[in-house]
Structure 1
Amino acid sequence: MADTARMDAIASAPPRANRWAIRLGSALIPVAHATGQNIVTVLGLRFMTDSLAISAGTAGLIFALVKIYDGVLDPAVGALSDRVRTPWGRRLPFLLAGGVAMPLGILMLFGAPDMGSVLLAQLFVTLALIIHASGYTLLTIPGFAMVVESSPDPHERTRLMGWRVYGNAAGLLIGTTVPGLILARMGPGRHAHLVMASAIGAVVLLATVLAVRLLARAPRTAPPEHPRPFNLVAQSRLAWLNRPFRILAITHVFLLFGTAIGSAALAYFSRYVLRAPDNWLSGYFLFSTIGMVGSIPGWVVFSRVIGKKSGYIIAMALFGLVNLTWLLAGPGELAAFSNLRGFLSGVAGGGTILCAYAMLSDAVRYDFVCSGERREGVFAGFTTLLDKLSSAAALAAMGAFLSAMGYVSSSMGGPIAQSVQAIHAVAICVAVVPAVSMLAGIMTVSRYQLQPDDLIENALPGEA
């Protein structure tokens, strides 16, 4: 453990002025990746089916394959960011590269030219999604690792996670409301989607550049002197043997499966069940963001009083119950009901994000306490690997389900007639699947037992 004290000294608390720069920089990274991710999560699948005439099953499969590629990329980026040596530290070059790649992928996807061939369109959007997903990985994994290594204080890490939730909320707001407003004003055509993509891409790039500048003086831990060769199987085994991390990772799979399907289905639900214009999405996500941002201080206090685990369970239960109420919605529903659902979903989302990542940071810290090694990137990579695989399974399942239920794709860009079965399938995806997924997550995380005393440096290694 000789290097342990040295490495924690490197990551000691920074001066107050720099501390606020780190907090703001930690928030801007999720602003960038959440903005770029949410536009694709909410509108990407619908754009492919309703504007590029790609079948729902094929579109879901493309998303799934890209997610699998991205998931395999995650541990490699995590391991590389743990061991690389540059004048700017281990993480910042990855962040900057991600801030360039993500906007490029967005522009390619929503600006896809008319190639006169569905097959060529499929290949082009696949390439666009690969570039977009690579940028997302380059932003998220080093960004999460920097939070873990920025402070040995678990309460400061929770505060940083709170700032990341604020950043995610801002990214959610920008990535969902701005596109809806642009499409409502300009129409659902190709040009409007390109304008939308350009605006969102600019936000991603600007937020990343500002974050890199603010984080340039953040505390850094040193890479290992003799790093082990990258081995995906070995890294997966390393992460899996950390029991608290393993439980949280499985819980996160259920959480992401439900939220991925729910988010992707909402654009279909508003169009074909509620029969609302695209600016309905802007209003819904505005209230969702208000709920998320407004609830963070409460979740921070609440999780300290009752524990992060209990807060996580309550947040997942609320999210599942709110989604179930979509089964009661229909055309002509009062906007107040939809806005209330958005607000409560945002409150639940704030709790799940804050508690999940605060608990994950504790589990990664537990590995350092037990091993004396700095492997934040490895664990961040494995976390996002499972996230991507669960999202891949979710989108593939949703696409296959919609196709099986008779959903009809087109190149018109707007709504077309769909069968009753297809509309029922959309309702199931937006309401039932997320609720069942949250229940499975609650059952899994109930087995988590890591305690604050287990995070003290001289605690004995062992499973909690």
Structure 2
Amino acid sequence: MTTPAVSNTQPPQKLSFGRKLAFGIGDLGPALVASIQGFFLNAFLLDIAGIRPAAAGVIFLIVKIWDSVNDPLVGRLTDRTNTRWGRRRPWLLFGAIPFGLAWFMQWLVPDWSQAGLFWYYLIVALLLDTGFTAVNVPYTALTPELTQDYDERTSLNSFRFSFSILGGLAALVVHSILIEAFPTVTQGYAISAAVMGGVIVLSNFITFAFTEESHFKEAPEQDDPGFIEGVKIALKNRPFLYVVTIYLMSWLCIQFVQANMLLYVRYWVGGEDRFIQLAFALQVSAFVFLIMWSKLSQKWGKQKVYYVGMSFWIVVEIVIFFVQPGQFNLVLGLAVLAGVGVSVGYLIPWSMLPDVIELDELETGQRREGIYYGFFVFLQKLGISLGLALSNFALEAAGYINAENLTNLPEQPTAVLTALRIFVSIVPAIILLLSFPIVRRYPITREKHAEILAALAARNERHL
């Protein structure tokens, strides 16, 4: 029987630039998924594949039911994996190709009936979700195994999300160029999907080859609490519950905006031919402010950075609601300002999570990064799916009209236009406001984390 790993007694080590770089490259696959899928999938299913909004919403919800099983399950399996390559890295190697293949299949448009298309996109979505989980859960769980240093983890995540944002930027540009380069939109999507699928596979191979799980060693055999008991223990960790709630709220906001922005521009503001500029501006801004927040968090702390960044974002969201048709340049400027808060939504929750794992180790004597990161990835995809499903159900109820082609767009009912405006502005602003009291209650400061590490080191010394 294999057992979870435990931390060694060495003091926290600073990571080399090369190791941070190799780790960051591993986020290119999830980055292009988040970027292209986030901005284009909903509009693709509705106006290119011709799926009704309610049917698309059902697909997202069914996938989420499967998610509730596979994310924590894969997380626990990675905790129990024991190979000469480590616990997490083998998953990057063997999960990369299925992940890339499912991504390619998602963007094809079979010449089938509505029922056939529904089942096709449902099955492919389930396969893609499984591939994503098999790679992304172990990848994110590498973070606490690379360093125990409180500020170094913020730095490591800044590398990761720099690649995430820059990779998302590059994916948007390449995706846009490829769509324009082919005679039909469906051909452009298929070629783009093939290229991005190759990037998914290659980036995971690089991270596998140039990272090393050297911070932890295998522990002596001990009793396994089992999956259900492990989940119960994780959910009893109060700081963890705070962090996952903060993360879910942040990603719900990001997804409500991202999933509906193209439709908002297409049917309300106008200027769809410049949409890539808007997406690009948001990503560039998020990247610049990510670097700034990474530095400021070392002086201010993670909670204060969250308050400042998200307060700014709330103001931007409220202004978006009052944008009128034809004011695309105003939306473009607001996208730049929104990057202030979006970068915080990426950085801060992920920087908080590794600290929670040390607290769990102190209280239970075991390390279960896989379970914790499994839940975290689950919540990321829960935010994506809930945002898509709820907004799509609202669009269905409002009477959304599918476009037969993108050159002759239908005139959407007033209720649809109002729903789109609300989902990219008022709803995210309210969710962000509700997250503030939770951030205030998060207890692990830099000083508290130092106490946890000292207690762990003392206990490990006693057991030598």
Query: Taking structure 2 as the reference length, what is the TM-score of the superposition?
Result: 0.90
- Partner residue of 1:290 out of 284, 289, 297: 284
Match of 1:302 in 2: 296
The 3 A distance-change label for structure 1 pair 227 and 57 is farther
The partner residue of 1:136 within 118, 132, 139 is 132
Deviations 1:71-102 (A, max 9, x none): 32110111111111122111112122332223
Equivalent residue for 2:308? 314
* 1: CA distance, partners of 2:275 / 2:432: 23
2:460 corresponds to: none
Distance in 1 (alpha carbons) for counterparts of 2:198 and 2:353: 31
Partner residue in 2 for 1:436 = 430
Distance in 2 of aligned mates of 1:6 and 1:330:
56
Alignment counterpart, residue 359 of structure 1, candidates 349, 352, 358: 352
Offset of residue 419 of structure 1? 1.3
8 Å Cα contact 1:271-1:277 kept in structure 2? yes
Cα–Cα, structure 1 residues 223 and 166, in superposed 2: closer, same or farther, change >3 Å?
farther
Aligned-pair distance for 1:275?
A: 2.0
Amino acid at match of 1:355: I
Deviation of residue 411 (structure 1)?
4.7
Aligned to 1:373: 366
Counterpart Cα distance in 2 of 1:97 and 1:436: 41
Q: How far apart are 1:52 and its partner, in Å? A: 1.9
Partner of 2:158: 162
Change (3 A) 1:36 1:331: same
Give CA-to-partner distance per residue, 1:165-205, whole Å, 9 cap, x none.
11221232133333234334547621121122122222222
One of 59, 70, 91 as aligned partner of 2:67: 70
Of residues 244, 253, 267, the one that matches 1:272 is 267
Q: Is 1:406 aligned to residue 406 of structure 2?
A: no
Q: How many residues align?
A: 452
Q: Aligned residue for 1:389?
A: 382
Deviation (angstroms), 1:272: 0.9
Does residue 1:243 correspond to 2:238, yes or no? yes
* 1:11 Cα deviation from its structure 2 partner: 8.8
Shift of 1:230: 4.2
Deviation per residue, 1:208-253 (Å, 9 max, x gap): 221211114654443663462642x423321221111111111222
Q: Which of 70, 73, 77 is the equivalent residue of 1:80?
A: 77
1:378-399 deviations in Å (ceiling 9; x for gaps): 1111222233333332222111
AA in 1 matched with 2:118: Q
- Deviation sequence 1:257-278 (CA, Å, 0-9, x none): 2221111001111211122234
Conserved 8 A contact 1:236-1:382: no
What is the CA deviation profile of residues 1-48 of structure 1, one whole-angstrom value per residue up to 9, with x for unaligned ones? Answer: xx999732479537x6xx223201221111221112321222111111
- Indicate the residue corresponding to 1:201 in structure 2: 197
Contact 2:71–2:133 (Cα < 8 Å) also in 1: yes
Report the Cα distance in structure 1 between the residues aligned to 2:219 and 2:133, rounded to whole angstroms. 20
Q: Tell whether the 8 Å contact from 1:151 to 1:157 is kept in structure 2 after alignment.
A: yes
Residue 105 in structure 1 maps to residue 102 in structure 2 = yes
C-alpha separation in 2, matches of 1:113 and 1:60: 20
Q: Structure 1 length normalisation: TM-score? A: 0.90
Which stretch of the first structure deviates more once superposed, 289-298 or 266-275? 289-298
Q: 1:171 to 1:61 in 2, by over 3 A?
A: farther
SS in 2 for 1:417: coil
C-alpha distance in 1 between matches for 2:35 and 2:284: 16
SS at match of 1:401: helix
Partner SS state of residue 87, structure 1: coil
Residue of structure 2 aligned with 1:329, choices 307, 310, 323: 323
- Computed over aligned residues only, the root mean square deviation of the Cα atoms, in angstroms, reads 2.5
Distance 1:255 1:227, change over 3 A: farther
Q: Deviation above 4 Å: which 4+ runs of structure 1?
A: 3-6, 9-12, 184-188
**Structure 2 vs 1, CA of residues 175 and 63 (structure 1 numbering), >3 Å: closer, same or farther?**
farther
For the Cα contact (< 8 Å) 1:64–1:395, is it kept in 2?
Answer: no
Partner Cα separation in structure 2 for residue 224 and residue 65 of structure 1: 40
Letter in 2 for 1:20: F
Please state whether the residue corresponding to 2:417 is helix, strand or coil.
helix
Cα distance in 1, alignment partners of residues 147 and 43 from structure 2: 42
Which residue pairs with 1:50 in the alignment? 47
* Preserved contact between residue 239 and residue 443 of structure 2 (Cα < 8 Å): yes
Task: Check conservation: 2:251, 2:345, Cα contact below 8 A.
Answer: no
Q: Distance in 1 between matches of 2:193 and 2:220?
A: 40
SS at match of 2:31: helix
